[in-house]
Structure 1
Amino acid sequence: MRLELVNTGTELCLGDTINTNAAWIGQRMAALGIEVARQTIVPDGGAVREAIEEAASRADVVLVSGGLGPTNDDVTRESTAELLGLPLVQDAGVTAQLNAYFAKRNKVPAVSNLRQAMVPVGATVLENAFGTAPGLYFPAELGAAKGWNSHIFLLPGPPREIKPMVENCVEPRLRALLPDGANRRVIYLKLTGIGESEIVEKVEKDLEAIAGLELGYCIGKGDVDVRLAGLAGPVDAGAEIVRDRLGEFILSEDRRVLEEVIIQLLAERGEWVATAESCTGGYLSSRLTDVSGSSKVYGHGFVTYANEAKEKHLGVAADLLQLHGAVSEPVAQAMAEGCLRTSGADYALSITGIAGPTGGTEEKPAGTVYVGLASKGHETVVRKFFYPISRDRFKLLTTQAALDLLRRQIQGLPLG
């Protein structure tokens, strides 16, 4: 099955907005066994008509995102109707949904909003529970007169709207079009603390030997997804190989990231974590609090950038700082233990390092960082890492290492 993706939006062409929809859709389609053959980006306005016409003339499926809004440059709906020779009529169901959407906000829809209730005859409305623009599905037979055999889906642009629509409305229809679509499975084994090349070395040869197994890798933010797709037998066999050889590195099998896993583990145990950061400036705290439910397991976060702050808030001794320097194993240990003592939490993570690119020395070059973990009933552990990279990447990898150290402690895995 050939699928093409058409994205409309001037902000995408200018680079003002990163096209995360395309990457996400590509991953979802790969899980179905469908490869995105081409992606096209066009500005708002009439350019979308030509893009849809070209894609529909050669693809089995065309997904179009954007251009369904109420403004005069949102013309995806009208352009598709013109291409297929379909009249537009006001849909009573969509009109009712628009009225209800605005009523909840003590407003009434503007005339421009009511454009979104105009539906081409023969198209199927795809409900949008998170916005005002419904999606539309045009089955392939509507393009037969033009010699097309393409199923066309018009989808909203905002990620919060397009993602549930793809999952709930588009994917079920695509599965029905695939010979084995209903029987396909996909597993994403998310790993951290191990690089892609080492994963390949340990499992790829045996995974590639499994008939019918589709294998892929995706490098994320401090983690790597091993994607296994196909029928149940090959997928299960492949997953067992990865679990057997790389089990301690597996975070999740449902695409949850490390901070989400940590929050769930702590919630299940009724335990708390606290943090004490220097060079990461609160990024560790931010990652934890990005997860819904974090307030049940995370109560204290200290950003002690200056030595005086380490002394005042964490009880790090001045002579310790003087003797070893802020970026050192003893100070990381003292920070973690002081954080644990002050917060009363079950676990405390500390980070102290040199993010760079300036500030390093021959003994402690930029990128040097220490991560500490103090836990009730366990000896404090400190690990040294070296990430001589950009500051944002340094913060990401350092906090990933800290959270993984905590994960390993909770799950009783080797601490490295």
Structure 2
Amino acid sequence: MNVELVNTGTELLLGDTINTNAAWIGQRLAALGVQVARQTIVPDGAVIRTAIAEAAQRADVVLVSGGLGPTNDDLTRESTAALLNLDMELDAGVMQHLEAYFAKRGKPVSAATQRQAMVPRGASVLPNAFGTAPGLYFPAELSAALGWNAHIFLLPGPPRELKPMVESEVETRLRQWLPDGASRRVLYLKVTGVGESDIVEAVEKQLEAIPGLDLGYCIRNGDVDVRLAGPQAAVDAAADVVRGALGDCIVSEDRRIIEEVVVQLLAERGQWLSTAESCTGGTIANRITDVSGASRVFGHGWVTYANEAKHQHLGVPMELIETHGAVSEEVARAMAEGALKNSGADHALSVTGIAGPTGGTPEKPVGTVWIALASKGAETWAIKRFSPGSRDRFKLLTSQAALDLLRRRLLGIGVR
């Protein structure tokens, strides 16, 4: 099955908006065993007609995102209708949705918004529960007069509207169209704490020997995704190889990121976390609270950037700081133990380091960080890491290592 994406939006070309829709759709379709053949981005306006026509000549399925709104440059609906020589007519069901949507907000349906209720004859409406613009599906027979055989989907641009529509409307139809036995499994093993080159060294030769396996790697946010695709038997055999070599470094096999895994593990155990951060400035707490349900497991977080704050809020003795320095194993341990005591949590993570670009010494160069984990009824762990580079990168890798330290304790797999 040949699938192409057409994305419309001048803001995408200007770089004002990152095209996360294309990445997400690619991942969703890959899980179905369908690989996107091509992506096209065009500005708002009439050029969308040309882009859809070009894609429909090549593809079995064309997914178009954006340009369904009420403004005068939202022309995807009208351009597709003109391309396929379809008349537009007011859809009563869409109009009722618009009236109910705006009634809740105490507003009438404007003439501009009413455009969204105009549906090309022969197209099916894809309901939008999270916005005003419905999606539209054009069966392949509507393009047959032009010599094409393409199913065309028009989808809203905002991700919160597009994603549910893809899941409920597009994927359902794609599953029906896939021939029996044509399914192709894709598995992502998210690995942390191991660099891409080390992963390659550990598993690639064995994986390359598996017939039919499509192998790939993607570095993202402190992780490496090992992508295994192909027939079920090939993917299963490859997954066993990766688990055997990197088992305790695999964070998830369902694309969950480490903070999601940690929040779930804490929730399953009915346990609470607190944080005491210096060089990361609250990054760990931010990552945890980005996860839905974090309020069940996270109650306290301190950003003790100054030495006086470490002493005042966490009880770190000033003589400890003066003797060993703020960036030291001793201070990291004291910070974690102070946070554990003051919060009453089950676990407390602390970090203290030198983010740079200034402040380093020959003994403690920029990028040096100590991470500690104190837990009720357990010894305090402390690890040293070195992550030179930009401040943002330093914060990301330090918070990743801290969360992995907690993950390991929760799973009982020890420090690597």
Q: TM-score, normalised by structure 1?
A: 0.96
1:19, CA displacement in angstroms?
A: 1.1
| Displacement after TM superposition at 1:277 (Å) | 0.3
- Deviation of 1:343 after TM superposition, in Å, equals 0.9
What is the aligned partner in structure 2 of residue 329 from structure 1?
Answer: 329
Give deviations 1:285-343, integer Å, cap 9, x for gaps: 11111111111111110000000000000111111111111111111111111111111
Please name the residue that 1:20 is paired with.
20
The letter for the 2-side match of 1:338 is: G
The answer on whether the counterparts of 1:175 and 1:182 sit within 8 Å (CA) in structure 2 is no
Partner of 2:201: 201
Q: Which residue of 2 aligns with 1:61?
A: 61
Q: Is the 8 A contact 2:30 2:186 kept in 1?
A: no
> In 2, Cα distance between the equivalents of 1:12 and 1:222?
26
- Structure 1 distance, partners of 2:274, 2:327, is 20
**Is the partner of 2:69 in helix, strand or coil?**
coil
Q: How does 1:10-409 map to 2 (within 5 A)?
A: 10-180=10-180, 183-409=183-409
Q: How many residues align?
A: 416
CA distance in 1, matches of 2:104, 2:184: 40
Deviation, 1:380, is 1.1
Unaligned runs of 5+ in 1: none
Residue 2 of structure 2 corresponds to 2
In structure 1, what is the Cα distance between the partners aligned to 2:192 and 2:353? 21
The whole-number CA distance in structure 1 between the counterparts of 2:208 and 2:193 is: 23
CA 1:116–1:267: 2 relative to 1, 3 Å: same
Q: Give the superposition deviation at 1:382.
A: 1.0
Deviations 1:157-177 (A, max 9, x none): 111111111122112222222
Point out the more displaced range, 33-42 or 57-66.
33-42
> CA–CA distance in 1 between the matches of 2:238 and 2:261?
23
2:34·2:184 contact (CA, 8 Å) conserved in 1? Answer: no
Q: In angstroms, what is the RMSD of aligned CA positions?
A: 1.6
Report the CA distance between 1:154 and its aligned residue.
0.7
Instruction: Note if contact 1:176-1:182 (Cα within 8 Å) is conserved in structure 2.
Output: no
Cα distance in 1 between the residues matched to 2:209 and 2:108: 60
> Residues of 2 paired with 1:97 and 1:63: CA distance?
24
Instruction: Give the distance between the partners of 1:31 and 1:205, measured in 2 at CA.
Output: 24
Kept in 1, the 8 Å contact 2:33–2:186? The answer is no
Q: How much has 1:183 moved relative to structure 2?
A: 4.2
Q: Give 5+ residue unaligned stretches, structure 2.
A: none
Residue 362 of structure 1: how far off its partner (Å): 1.7
Residues 85 and 170 of structure 1: CA distance in aligned 2, closer, same or farther (over 3 Å): same
Provide, for residues 209-234 of structure 1, a one-character-per-residue CA deviation record: whole Å limited to 9, x for no partner: 33343333222211122223344333
Of 68-77 and 181-190, deviating more is 181-190
CA distance in 1, matches of 2:202, 2:6: 38
**Cα shift at 1:145:** 1.1
Q: CA deviation at 1:181?
A: 7.0
After the TM superposition, which of the residue ranges 29-38 and 260-269 deviates more from structure 2? 29-38
> SS at the partner of 2:330?
helix
C-alpha distance in 2, partners of 1:235/1:99? 49
Q: Distance in 2 between matches of 1:220 and 1:2?
A: 27
Q: Any conservation in 2 of the 1:6–1:63 contact (CA below 8 Å)?
A: yes
Shift of 1:242: 2.3
Local SS of the residue matching 2:334: helix
Which is worse superposed, 189-198 or 177-186?
177-186
Does structure 1 conserve the Cα–Cα contact (< 8 Å) formed by 2:32 and 2:183? no
Query: Contact (CA 8 Å) 1:4, 1:63: kept in 2 or not?
Result: yes
d(CA) in 2 for partners of 1:114 and 1:146?
30
Deviation at 1:182, TM superposition (A): 7.3
Measure, in 2, the Cα distance between the counterparts of 1:371 and 1:194.
17
| Aligned partner letter, 1:323 | T
- Give the distance between the partners of 1:375 and 1:357, measured in 2 at CA: 33
If the length of structure 2 is used for normalisation, what is the TM-score?
0.96
Whether the 8 Å CA contact 2:26–2:36 is kept in 1: the answer is yes
Q: What is the CA-CA distance between 1:201 and the residue it aligns to?
A: 2.4
The DSSP-based 3-state class of the residue aligned with 2:186 is: strand
1:360-391 CA-partner distances (Å, limit 9, x unpaired): 12221111111111111111111111111111
> Which whole-Å CA distance do the structure 2 matches of 1:142 and 1:207 have between them?
44
1:180 to partner: Cα distance: 4.1
Could you say what secondary structure the match of 1:378 adopts? coil
Residue pair 1:228, 1:239 contacting (<8 A) in 2 also: yes
Q: Is the 8 A contact 1:175 1:181 kept in 2?
A: no
**C-alpha distance in 1, partners of 2:353/2:155?**
46
- Distance in 2 separating the partners of 1:228 and 1:376: 39
User: What percentage of residue pairs aligned between the two structures are identical?
Assistant: 72
- Confirm or deny: 8 A CA contact 2:49 2:79 kept in the other structure: yes
Q: Distance in 2 between matches of 1:105 and 1:230?
A: 49
